[in-house]
């Protein structure tokens, strides 16, 4: 599913960046993709996806 329609960034891509690259905040996702740089409507959903995904990352580490 596309989260950022303006730049074609999917939830899968956001989860991949979080779990494989350890990017845990919206700022980091924005630096790796163009997400949020146009209308900004995707920011809220990106935060929600990170809130679900980041705890999984910490489970993997511990
Ligand atoms: S939907 Fe992401 S900048 Fe517009």
What structural domains does the chain harbor?
2-61 (1.10.10.1100)
Which residue among 30, 33, 40 is best mutated to probe the pocket of ligand 1, counting the most ligand atoms within 8 A of its Cβ?
A: 40
Q: Which residues pair with 2 in a beta bridge?
A: 10
Q: What is the pLDDT along the chain (62 residues), one digit of tens a residue?
A: 999 999 999 999 999 999 999 999 999 999 999 999 999 999 999 999 999 998 988 886 66
Q: Does ligand 1 have an atom closer than 6 angstroms to the CB of 41?
A: yes
| Cα–Cα distance, 13 to 19 (Å, whole number) | 10
Q: How far is the CA of 33 from the centre of ligand 1 (A)?
A: 11
CA–centroid distance, residue 53 to ligand 1 (Å): 20
pTM: 0.91
**44 SS3 class:** helix
Rg over alpha carbons for the chain, rounded to the nearest Å, is 11
């Amino acid at each position: 599913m596309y989260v950022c329609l303006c730049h074609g960034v999917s939830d899968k891509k956001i989860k991949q960046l979080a779990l494989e690259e350890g990017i845990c905040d919206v700022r980091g996702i924005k630096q790796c993709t163009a997400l949020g740089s146009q209308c900004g409507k995707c920011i809220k959903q990106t935060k929600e996806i990170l809130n679900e995904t980041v705890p999984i990352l910490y489970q993997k580490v511990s």
